[in-house]
Structure 1
């Protein structure tokens, strides 16, 4: 194998491919990248057996061939070379020799016959949507995906397609996020898949590479095709049921608040909340909102926001300020609406945009008098 390419073209794919390798498996080939030179195309693959990356770019191929090389070391080499440099790469039978300018590097290889192949997908379902729309939806829900693997269904982002709609949702045990969009056409086959958090994180990084993303799935595995890049992932085969129904309430209290004023107040009060609960009291009245932390060993913080638009009886509710700040950081509108039933019921957050929404559960704490 022998090829010539521009350093930036190779580094871009190697950088993304490196995120799909693993050092946690005794099979060292999983730390390597599979490199194939054929025709006028370089193909780079990587996998950790749960997810896999395939990327391609065109360049000058002098001699066809395949090999595998350590992903991390190849990436470190490429990062140190100047942008725009020409790279000459040649596989000598046991080593990959990389030359650029006055630099020469020799990388150890493992035979490509040991590199695992991912399972074939016979797609039962297919959708195509704009990458920027899909990325925005993923970003709105990603922070609500749980890291607690005791309930595996909470460790992924749900993608649900029904009619002419796509719904993304995620939940841990204290917060829920839902984002929705519409297709130009209606799909006759409804389906739901649960995509692991690591895959969601990588998709967010890659979706800028193409105007559209294509998704193929058999509900056990999925392919995400983004221009010259294909992401394979195994899916979580358990689901959280009926998250959207939790938003179907008849609120007794509705309040509209200026987002930045609210966010800044919560941030200031949060400096004196408990390191464990991050709890603060949100006391709503007809024309103002008082926010104060529960007494801690450090003291207590207090803020008051006037000029809110409020409907309903006065209410005090205790929320985790860390979670409130997370929700606020994902709301893009100047104002948002909170809807509540009572102090022990979930609080709903609606931006002045109708395509995403959030839910937070209150904290049950007996307050000190």
Structure 2
């Protein structure tokens, strides 16, 4: 194989694929990126961890078609350090790949492309499109609630499913729940309920940051493929059943508190400075037209802050994990957040208003 490619193009594409590669691998070829120089004047780059795969085709001048695999992180670091605007010449033969740019020359060890594993997609019967901005918003508003607890593996992703004429995305870690609803795209009816794993969500979000236009989504009960312009992300899905989260969304919380989400979050952040790392508990005392935030710490002392609010029900005291509360408030874009309360032990519902496509549920803490 022999090809020449612009440094910026190669660097951007390597940035897309190399983050899939785990730093430590027991299977050497999984540390590598597949480079396939093709007669049509493009290089295809592909990386995988056996559960997730990203491949992308970029323009290049191909003198001799061929394919090889080379350490993804090493090649990325080399290209990153090459001068701006340089042309990178890649030549592979007899178990080595030479990388030449200007006066820089590297000889890297390679592994044969035939050993490189590719995820077999199988049939992907459900196909639909979503605007990149919509998919980005869905991930943004739910990903913070994805669980990191290995024992509850079925919560370690975003649950995507269709309800009537809506496409819904939900994530929960048992302490908080985030749900976003968008109109059901054409072609999504009859779609199986799927759980997209945490790592695939993170990689997808990175690829969406630079993408305009639409994303083509194809899926079965076990695999999903996202067509993202010149890149394609394919992932296995989590094999598990997501719990019926609708049971924890409160419908009878009749105490309505309205306040500015930014000052609310800043106040929580300030008083939680003295909270112990373990609990991060902040107490909210809600009264007519005001909220008093307080944190009591045996080691550090006491902090309180008063906020103006719109509230007309009976007074209530309730405690929350400060970090969880701030994560939710950071996703509220308007000037008001509605906090629907019941009592100190019941789940609390938060949303921008009743027309918002996102809602959040937060479990209280004892304080």
TM-score by length of 2: 0.95
CA distance in 1 between counterparts of 2:246 and 2:216 reads 25
CA apart distance, 1:296: 2.2
CA distance in 1 between counterparts of 2:290 and 2:8 reads 55
CA apart distance, 1:45: 0.8
CA apart distance, 1:242: 2.5
- How many residues are aligned here? 364
Question: 2:240 — aligned with what?
Answer: 238
Matched, 1:159 2:156: no
Conserved 8 A contact 1:162-1:189: no
Question: 2:35 — aligned with what?
Answer: 35
CA-atom RMSD in angstroms: 1.5
Task: Give unmatched runs, 5+ long, in structure 2.
Answer: none
Task: Give unmatched runs, 5+ long, in structure 1.
Answer: none
Map 1:190-339 onto structure 2 (within 5 A).
Answer: 190-207=191-208, 208-306=210-308, 308-339=309-340
CA apart distance, 1:107: 1.0
Q: Aligned with 2:190: secondary structure?
A: strand
Runs of 4 or more off by more than 6 Å in structure 1?
A: none
Matched, 1:24 2:17: no
Residues 107-140 of structure 1 show CA distances to partners (whole Å, capped at 9, x for unaligned) of: 1101111111212320121121101110111011
CA apart distance, 1:183: 4.1
CA distance in 2 between counterparts of 1:162 and 1:56 reads 36
CA distance in 1 between counterparts of 2:164 and 2:192 reads 10
Q: Aligned with 1:189: secondary structure?
A: coil
Question: 1:140 — aligned with what?
Answer: 141
Question: 2:358 — aligned with what?
Answer: 356
Conserved 8 A contact 2:192-2:220: no
TM-score by length of 1: 0.95
